Structure 1
Amino acid sequence: MTEGNDSAATVAELVDRARICMLTTMTPDGQHVARPMAVQEVEFDGDLWFFAYAESEKVGEIGANPQVNVSFSNPKQSEWTSIAGTAEIVIDPAKAEELWSAPLRAWFPDGPKSPGLVLLKVHADTAEYWSGPSSKVVRLLGAARAAIARDPDKFPADNETVNLSGNPS
């Protein structure tokens, strides 16, 4: 696992390019549940922000078990990112106003003042990312080379785990 500004900056770029993610929580009976979400803050600084309704299942699940995973996929660029962290439920009308964007009105018709609206803040602890060449030809050649060598490490892709919490692991 690495730490450092360059690695964290890479994670921030990957999150920014993907924008849509799957937020995974855990049900009371221990089942993982993932649902699509849109990240609300453009600048990833180690925290991810989402809008939700207080009465939603995901909010209840986070209240009971705040450990979550947020996964991003950007297949056009051959990029995948998985972020593990701790979520908290935030009631902050000023922050909701700051993060608000017009497309959210489809889910929250009364805007940031929608009754029952809460924010979910995910504090990222670690991120793992995979980034390969965006060229299909290079990917195919790399896959062929890895298959012939029977060595998946021959596939031309970056894979790194990054500590984002600042705590040594």
Structure 2
Amino acid sequence: MPERLPPLDVLPGFVMVGRTLSMTRAAQALCLSQSAVSRQIRQLEAAVGQPLFLREHRALRLTDAGAQLLLSAEAALRAWQDGVAALRDDAARQITVSASIGVIGLWLLPRLGDWQAAHPQLDMRLLADNRKREPRAAGVDLAIRYDAADALPADALPLFDETLA
């Protein structure tokens, strides 16, 4: 059975008190009352079974246990923030489209403004290249290629035919 964690709602209070060494400043930063932050710290100390702060006249100092826990708590908050940021980055992700110079210039660019208006959450990177490369090796999400019908990969989708005059 996993070890029982202290309540996670005390984590921001503990980190802020540890950073500021002040219940009052931590409470102001968290938009809580000073007594609420103080209760959170007492609750955390009870859960870990030892004092995390030395309470002196008008001053706080971290105990060795408090300093050690603060490092872990800050790392946990950073990991949480990084996870949330990664999710937000996924919402504004970038796709790479590879095509020949002619297809990009004559077919894709005239349509790009409408596409961007319809998909504002995506950033499109264009790779104009007349060489045939393996798209996955070049970090390409979508490749537009000219080829004979019998030479197309099985998962290829035809966009249009060509008529030469």
TM-score, normalization by structure 2: 0.22
Higher strand share: 1
- Between the two structures, name the one with larger relative contact order (CA 8 Å, sep ≥ 6): 1
Q: Which has the larger radius of gyration?
A: 2
